[in-house]
Amino acid sequence: MSSLSLYDTLTRTTAAFVSIKEGEVGIYLCGATVQAPPHIGHVRSGVNFDILRRWLSHSGYNVTFIRNVTDIDDKILHKAVHEELPWWAVAMKYEREFSEAYAALNVLAPTYEPRATGHITQMIGLMQILIEKGAAYAPGNGDVYLEVRKLSSYLTLSRQKLDDLQPAADAEATSSEKKDPRDFALWKAAKPGDPSWPTPWGPGRPGWHLECSAMAHQYLGETFDIHGGGLDLIFPHHENEIAQSEAAGYGFAQRWMHNAWVTTSGEKMSKSLGNSLQVHELLKSVRGIELRWYLGSAHYRSMLEFSHEALAESATAFKRIEGFLNRSVEILSVVPTPVINEAFTDAMNDDLAVPTALASISESLKVGNNAITAGDKAVIAQAANEIRGALSILGCDPFDPAYATSGNSDELVAALDGVIALALEQRTAARERRDFAASDSIRDGLASLGIIIEDTAQGPRWSITGNGSR
């Protein structure tokens, strides 16, 4: 039996995962800065780390999963002006949209989801420690900076040299008070009209990085197991988190994991690409479970080149797996019990090699379909159990209540089943008298409503595709 290995951005190697405390894992994931609707790149990160979390839980760990919401930053303030709303209304609006997107994709709710604005006290406490230790300084203008040149380990995550960095774009604007243009703001003095909180250095608001150090410390302690986020956060965000936390004397994250992009036309997704790749737009063409399957199917460290065609193909592939599970339920009259087999385990233990894990699902699918043909119920059950087990780790279990479609009451389903059964009786009668024009017209009529009829050895069965030409 294999054991879990994970890649670490800091060492750039894959190594055995050993938690700090046996049986426990603490994960901090940099969540959204709630300043725009979520696009699929944002939720890919959520899905990737949700798979990690589910796998750790399956592996026997009690997982504490913290995913923050950064609800105060320059862009939110800018957006508030633009949308003529209070900044907190903007933040809340987009936070809800993110929550809805995560829920639609069955991303498990974090153990806790702290907001930056709820942790000003902790941030001030952290800054006091940093100033006492001589790592940070308040020049008196209301800003507080971290003095990066004093930190020997600064930039080790991104493997850069301080002197090689291009000067900050805003260097000329703010550098007058900085000891070094590359010192970054832990705290920003309030400008007229900006929201602010009182501090010993004057009213102001958090810089971008401070909240994560403060909140990770609050909920996971001085040292914790895994810190995650998107690739772009390596520098400056995570580098600066390390700087703040280590300067304060914390061990901080033992392992760094970063997910790659969803790209379009070979480029990183950006806001300028419009609204079409927002989650709620894509959910008009595919179900949440299918979008999740697509986003989760690439390895988390590989770029995923988005296309509508690839998404559609992926959805087709998923429906094939789902079709087998549904047929198995019809045959066995029992919902499969999730079972994790060895092939899937080995793949997931190898730095969450989902693509290889998918190959194991294909194997089980082939075996299962053959067993249906052969009528071997034991083999059908085993294949269905293994497939459901794999899908549950990937968060794509069609029997998961999280994917239950609201509004489909049992009564409604029973009524629909009865109506279709009537139509199928007519069709069967027509077929028996070899009136294929009549039987095909019934089948075509149902198909136009999105109801697919398949003839099997046990008689006709029906299913809803959700793609009726209404």
Partner RNA sequence: GGUCGGAUGGCCGAGAGGCGAGGCAAGGGACUGCAAAUCCCUCUACACGGGUUCAAAUCCCGUUCCGACCUCCA
The reply to whether 323 sits near RNA by the rule CB under 7 A is: yes
User: Of 47, 286, 365, 451, which lies in the binding site for RNA, with binding defined by CB under 7 A?
Assistant: 365
User: Which of 47, 262, 396, 424 contacts RNA by CB under 7 A?
Assistant: 262
Kindly state whether residue 169 participates in binding RNA, applying the rule CB under 7 A. yes
Of 51-59, 119-127, 263-271, 284-292: span binding RNA (CB under 7 A):
263-271
Q: Is 235 in the site for RNA (CB under 7 A)?
A: yes
Q: Which two tokens stand for residue 77?
A: 């303030």
> Which of 124, 61, 112 is closest to 219 using CA atoms?
112
Give the DSSP per-residue string, 175-236: GGG-SSTT-EEEEEEPPTTS--B--TT-SEEE-SSHHHHHHHHHHH-SEEEEEEEEGGGIII
Q: How many angstroms separate the CA atoms of 435 and 433, rounded? A: 6
- Closer CB to RNA, 20 or 231, in the complex: 231
Among residues 100, 305, 376, 400, the one that binds RNA under rule CB under 7 A: 305
Nearer to RNA, 62 or 302 (CB): 302
The answer to whether 241 touches 250, Cβ cutoff 8 Å, is no
**Residue from 232, 330, 342, 425 that binds RNA (CB under 7 A)?**
232
Q: CA 238, 25, 260, 349 torsion: positive or negative?
A: positive
Which residues on adjacent β-strands are paired with residue 252?
Answer: 223
310 binds RNA (CB under 7 A): yes
Can you tell me which of 2, 316, 337, 448 binds RNA, judged by CB under 7 A? 316
Residue keyed to tokens 């894990």: 357
CA angle 387/395/369 to nearest 5° reads 20
CB of 85 to RNA, least distance (A): 19
- Between 129 and 168, name the residue whose CB sits nearer to RNA: 168
Is residue 280 at the binding interface for RNA, with CB under 7 A as the rule? no
164 is a contact residue toward RNA (CB under 7 A): yes
Specify the 3-state DSSP secondary structure of 397: coil
Query: In this structure, are residues 239 and 213 in contact, taking their beta carbons and an 8 Å threshold?
Result: no
- Cβ 306 to RNA shortest distance, Å: 9
Task: Report if residue 342 touches RNA, rule: CB under 7 A.
Answer: no
In whole angstroms, the minimum distance from the beta carbon of 370 to RNA comes to 5
Instruction: Assess 19 for contact with RNA (CB under 7 A).
Output: no
For the bound state, the minimum distance from the C-beta of residue 430 to RNA, rounded and expressed in Å, comes to: 8
Residues 6+ apart with CB under 8 A from 269: 39, 40, 41, 261, 262, 263, 277, 306
Residue of the chain from 26, 41, 110, 296 that contacts RNA (CB under 7 A): 41
Q: Which residues pair with 451 in a beta bridge?
A: 464
Which residues sit opposite 456 in a β-bridge?
459
Range 437-443, long-range pairs (CB < 8 A, 24+ positions): none
- Interface residue with RNA among 110, 142, 207, 336 (CB under 7 A) is 207
The greatest distance separating any two alpha carbons of the chain, rounded to the nearest whole angstrom, comes to 94
Number of residues that bind RNA (CB under 7 A): 90
Binding test (CB under 7 A) with RNA, winner from 172, 222, 267, 330: 267
At position 47, the amino acid (one-letter code) is V
User: Scanning residues 391 to 450, which ones bind RNA (CB under 7 A)?
Assistant: 431, 436, 439-440, 443
138 binds RNA (CB under 7 A): no
CA distances in angstroms from 308 to 277, 311, 314, listed in the order given: 10, 5, 10
Which span (126-134, 267-275, 388-396, 404-412) binds RNA, by CB under 7 A?
A: 267-275
Residue from 17, 261, 293, 344 touching RNA (CB under 7 A): that is 261
- Which x/- pattern over 77-116 shows residues binding RNA (rule: CB under 7 A)? ----------------------------------------
